[in-house]
Chains A and B, each alone.
Chain A
Amino acid sequence: MTDPRCCRRKWGKLAVHAALVLACIVNIYPLLRIISISLRPGNRLISTDLALIPAEATFMSYVNVVKDTNFLIWLWNSLIITAGTSLIGVILASTAGYAFSRFKFPGNKLGLTLLLGTQMIPAGMLLLPLFLMVMKMGLINTYLGMVIAYSVSSLPFSIWILKGYYDTVPRSLEEAAMVDGTTRIGAFYRVVLPLSTPALAIAFLFNFTAAWNEYLVARVILSNSTKYTWPLGLFELQGQFITQWGMFAAGSVLITIPVLLVFLYSSKWLVSGLTLGSVKG
C-alpha cells in the first residue's frame, strides 16, 4: 500500500481516485456553502435552499467588500506580517532545530521540554499582560510587534518538526562533507538543509497559516485601522446582532485564495526524497 509505484491493477487505481474524490467533496463542501453565502443577496447566513448557486446570485458582495472597505490595505498588512513571520520563523527554527538535533549541550532536553511547555499555555490568558508589555516597549500598532509575537509563538512547533526531520538525516553525510574541508555550518547549509525541504515546507506552511488567520493577538496589538490585518478588518463587518454576511463570506473566500496559492507553490517542496534514495541507500 505504501509502495510508491503505481498500483498494478486498474481498479486499484480507480479505488484510490474514488476515495480521494470522496474526501475532497467532504472537505470542500463547506467552502462551497460559503461561496453561496457570498453570492446570496441580502446578508443571509442560513438558507432553506440547499442549492449551491442561490437564486438571484450576484457578485455584488465581492465588489462591495473590495470597494467599500479597506480590504486591500488589510491584505497588504497581512501579507507583510505573514511573510515576515514565516521567513524569520523558518530561519530561526532551522538553525535551532539543527543545534538540538546534532549537539549534546547542557539544556538540550530542557530546552525542548520548555518549548513544548509554551504550547500548553491556554489561549487568551496572556492577553492582558501582553498588552501591558507591548505598550511599554512601544510596539503597539507596529509590524515589528506583530512579527515578533507571531514568529515566537510558532517557533516551538517549527523547531520540533525540523529537529525530528534532521534526526532522520544520518550524520555520516555531514561528516563526509566536513572531511572535505567545509565547516560545520557549511555542512549544515550545503548538505542537511537541501535534504530537509519537506520539513522546511511544513514549518513554513504552519507559520504562514498561523499568522495569516490569527485574530486575538492582532486585536491586542493593532488598534489603528490602517494597520489592520484581514481578520480584524473582516470582523468589523460583524455587528453585535447584524453581520453583513454577504461581504463577510466574500472576503473570506478572497483571503483563502492566497493561502491556497502558497500551498500549491510549496507542494513541490513537500515532494522531496528523490535525491534521498540514492544518498541513503
Chain B
Amino acid sequence: MNSQVALSLLEVLQMIGFVAFVTLWIEAYLYTHFHYSKKSWFFPAMLAAVPLGVLLLVVVAIGPALNARQAVNIFLYALLAESALAVFFRFKADKKLALPYMLIMPGFVGLALLIAYPLVFEVYLAFHDLKLTTLKTWSETGYLPFVNFEHFYNVFTKSPLSEVSFWQLLGRTLWWTVVNVFFHVLGGLGLALLLNNEIKLRGIYRTLLIIPWAMPQVVAVLAMKGEFHSEYGFVNIMIGRLVDAFPFLASMGMHKVQWLSQHPFLTCTIVNVWLGIPFMMVVILGGLQSIPKSYYEAASIDGASRWQKFRHITLPLLRPVLAPAVTLGTVWTFNNINVIYLVTGQSGGTEDADILVSALYKAAFSFNRFSYSAAFAIVIFLLLFAISMLWLKFSKGTESAYD
C-alpha cells in the first residue's frame, strides 16, 4: 500500500510538472511573438527555436517511444507552420493583445485538443455508415461506406426507440427544460433570499440544503425514485395515511398514484427539480452577498418598499451572475440524461418520459448504430446551439451590468 501511495505521488509530481511545462511553453510562445515581432532578429530566431520547442514538447509528452523518422517529420511540419505564423505575427500582431491571449490560451488549447478531434470524428461517422455489419471491415481496412445525409433524414423521420417520434421528443425536451429551469431558479432564489438574512444557524442550514448537489447523483436519484414506488414509497404511504385520516380528500380525487408507470415524466421532473435547486441557490447566494448593503440603506432612506428594493436593486445586480447560471442551467437540463435514464431506464412502456438525449443514449448503445447516433447527436447539438444563440441575443448575456 505504501509503495502505491509513493507511486501515485510521483505521478502527481509528473502531472504538475507536465502541466506547468506546457502552460509556460504556450505563454513563452505568445509573449515572444507579440512583443518581439517587429525586431530584426525575429524571423531567424523563431524559425530556429519554435520547431525545436515543438519537438521538445512532443518528446516530453510521448517519451522515448519516438523514432528518428517521426522526429524529423515533426520538426519539418513545425518549421512550415512557424514560418506562416511568424509572418502573421510580424504584420498583424498588436502588442496590446498579448496579455488577453496569454491569459486565455492554455485553457483553449486544452479545449481544442479534447473536443476538436472527437467532434471531427463524430461528423465523419455521421456521413458514413458504421453499424454492426460494417464494423468488421472498418476495423480491418478502415473503409466505411459513404451515405450522404441518409442518417440525418432518418433522425427526423424514424423513431429512435419504438414509437415516439423526433418531434414529440423535441417538444417534450423543450417543455422539460422550461419547467425545470423555472422551478430551479424560483426555488434557488427563494432559498437564497431566506439564507441572506443574518439568522443563527445559517451555516448549518446552508450545508444541509446543498446535500442534493453534494450527494452522488446516481445514489440520490435512486433514493428519490424509491420514494415514488407505488406501494412502498414514502409519497404514496403518506398519501394513504392522509386519506385515511381525512376521508374528504378522497372525494376530492386524492389517491395513491402509480408514479413510475403512469406518470413517469412528472416523477422525473420532481426529482430533477429537487436535484437542481441547491446549485442555483449557491450561485444566487454568492451574487446576493456581493450587493453592497449601502444600496439598500440608501433606498430605505428614500422610502422604498421591500418589493421595490427587490425589483430595482437586487434583480439587476443579480443579472451578471444569474445570466450565465441560467444559460448554462438551461443547456444542462436540455441534455440531462441521468435523471430520466435512472428513473425510467429499466422499465418498459415509459417512452413518454424520454427526452431527446435519453432516447439517443438508449438507441445508440443498444444496437451499435454508431453513425445514426452520431447524426442524432449533431442534430441535437445544432438545435441547442440555435436556441441558445436566440436566447443570448434576446438577453444580451455577454455584456456586464454596469455597462
**Which residues of A are interface residues toward B (Cβ below 8 A)?**
1-7, 13, 16-17, 19-20, 23-24, 26-31, 33-34, 37, 45-48, 50, 73, 76-77, 80, 84, 88, 92-93, 95-96, 98-103, 105-106, 108-109, 111-113, 115-126, 128-130, 132-133, 137-138, 142-144, 147-149, 151-153, 155-157, 159-161, 163-165, 167-168, 170, 184-185, 198-199, 201-202, 205-206, 209, 213, 215, 226, 231, 248-249, 252, 255-256, 259-260, 263-264, 267, 270-273, 276-277, 280-281
Contacts and interface: CB of A to CB of B under 8 A. Distances in A.
Contacts of A29: 227, 234
Most buried by B among A50, A138, A149, A164: A164
A96 B103 contact: yes
Contacts of B212: 27, 30
B110 A5 contact: no
Interface string B218-247: 111011101101011010010000000000
A44 B91 CA distance: 71
Nearest to B313: A2
A58 to B, nearest CB: 20
Interface stretch (B37-45, B147-155, B190-198): B190-198
A47 B232 contact: yes
B111 A259 contact: no
Contacts of B214: 209, 256, 259-260, 263
B223 A31 contact: yes
Contacts, number: 331
B11 A252 contact: no
A168 B289 contact: no
A50 B234 CA distance: 7
Interface stretch (B71-79, B158-166, B293-301): B293-301
A243 B218 CA distance: 14
B403 to A, nearest CB: 8
A48 B400 contact: no
B144 interface: no
Contacts of B208: 24, 27-28
Contacts of B50: none
Given A118-B111, A264-B203, A124 B361 contact: yes
Contacts of A124: 337, 361, 364-365
B35 interface: no
* B interface, over-half SS: helix
A24 B196 CA distance: 16
Interface in B1-30: 1, 4-5, 8, 11-12, 14-15, 18-19
Given A124-B361, A202-B286, A277-B294, A161 B385 contact: no
Given A2-B196, A118-B115, A252 B107 contact: no
Nearest to B287: A198
Interface in B231-267: 231-232, 234, 237
Contacts of A84: 12, 15
Given A30-B212, A148-B114, A206-B279, 12 more contacts: A3-B300, A5-B198, A20-B205, A92-B107, A96-B107, A116-B327, A121-B335, A125-B373, A126-B115, A126-B119, A142-B11, A252-B215
B199 A13 contact: yes
Contacts of A92: 106-107, 110
Contacts of B223: 30-31, 33-34, 37
A128 B364 CA distance: 12
B197 A4 contact: yes
A119 B310 contact: no
B219 A199 contact: no
Contacts of A50: 234, 237
13 contacts: A33-B223, A80-B8, A119-B335, A120-B331, A125-B364, A130-B114, A142-B11, A144-B11, A148-B114, A149-B114, A160-B328, A259-B215, A277-B294
Contact of A164 (B218, B226, B227, B323): B323
B107 A93 contact: yes
A138 B63 contact: yes
A121 B226 contact: no
A152 B215 contact: no
A231 B331 contact: no
